[in-house]
Structure 1
Amino acid sequence: MDARQKPARRPPPPPVETFSPRSGDLDALPPRVAEMRERILVATRSGDIERLRPAIEWNETLPLFARGDDRPRSFATVIDFLKRYSFDGHGREILALLQAAFENDYVKSTRGSTVSYIWPHFAAVQKPDPTADERLAMYRCVRFANLALTNDIGLPLMQRAGIGEDGTWHYFLAG
């Protein structure tokens, strides 16, 4: 290497994600996070997937509901997508999964300066040997189509939701 040449700089490694202990303390949530959670739960309790639209459209960007080419790409198509994605074809499975997720404890995720809240806690921080009650709670968060699938440590492929600390609903995905 020529003495005048500077060595190539490598980009810094991505920040490490850390998780808080699990919590059920809803008063500890930032107000906008608590408000989004409540908007979602009101819709789930209605039994009508169309009632989820205001929570989805409260964001500036569409939450991620699936990966791949068939995922919804606009607010106009998202409810029809959720109906098709739902085993019953009407969106009731999605509503039940959202309700099960948001009625569980959560964890606070920090990655660099990015903070979000993840429900259910056990989808973010997984332990390899859950109790029978924990495993039952996990299966309440699994799409019917994914019942036979497991992750790399043998746990069910659960749906999880993430809301940013500003109240933006980022995703509701299996993984």
Structure 2
Amino acid sequence: MVFVGSVSAAMPALAANDVCAQPPMAEILPELVINMRQDIIRAAKTGDMEQMQYVVEQNEVLPIAKFNAAQDANNSPLVAWQAQSQDTDGLYILAQMIEILNLGFAKQALIAGVDLYTWPYFADQDISQLCPTELVDLLTISSPQAVKQMQQIRLYTGFQLAIGSDGSWHYFARKNIVINK
């Protein structure tokens, strides 16, 4: 079969319940957030975890690398990220940063005058209620098995990244982790 013109013209229309609102994309972010996001992506694309150190050092306070754990104020989050990188010398973490920052974001008020921009946009949503396009986004950063587990507990348990409207990088960590005992 040969397609002439737009492939989407040959596709059937989606039912109303198959379409969900598109998350905001990076073009509408405040300039300081855009700059930090670009710095993180640029450093991650080098494949060198040490390049991320320069981005981390732009903050007054180190970004959180692991929730619910004591983080030494003098210890770079790179140590924690490398420990979580599944024996890839940090490459898995760098890849996750890139993929997550290529998704949409959610915005919430942090303190007066400062908003927090969080990736991925569905991080605080009920994962069992995601529409098909949101599930595709989730599957770009999670395995099908992980998605099934998240749907069962209704929480996103993957990595999240947050940048304040002042350009400060708040965290790249996993939240909502449920430990089976």
TM-score by length of 1: 0.73
Distance 1:71 1:140 in 2: 29
Q: Which runs of 5+ in 2 are unaligned?
A: 1-21, 176-181
The answer to whether 1:53 aligns with 2:56 is: no
- Pairwise mapping of residues 2-81 of structure 1 onto structure 2 (< 5 A)? 22-24=23-25, 26-69=26-69, 71-74=71-74, 76-81=75-80
The answer (yes or no) to whether the contact 1:142–1:158 under 8 Å persists in 2 is yes
The answer to whether 1:105 aligns with 2:104 is: yes
The CA deviation at 1:107 is: 1.8
Identity of aligned residues (%): 25
The CA deviation at 1:45 is: 1.2
Distance 1:89 1:48 in 2: 11
The CA deviation at 1:39 is: 0.4
Residues 70 and 61 (structure 1), Cα distance of their counterparts in 2 relative to 1, 3 Å cut: same
Q: Which runs of 5+ in 1 are unaligned?
A: 1-20
Distance 1:50 1:61 in 2: 18
Distance 1:171 1:44 in 2: 15
What is the root-mean-square deviation of aligned Cα atoms in Å?
A: 2.7
SS of match in other structure, 1:124: coil
Distance 1:94 1:170 in 2: 16
Paired residues in the alignment total 151
The CA deviation at 1:152 is: 7.2
- Pairwise mapping of residues 149-160 of structure 1 onto structure 2 (< 5 A)? 150=150, 153-160=153-160
SS of match in other structure, 2:35: helix
Moved more, 28-37 or 65-74: 65-74
More helix by share: 2
The answer (yes or no) to whether the contact 1:151–1:157 under 8 Å persists in 2 is no
TM-score by length of 2: 0.70
SS of match in other structure, 1:128: helix
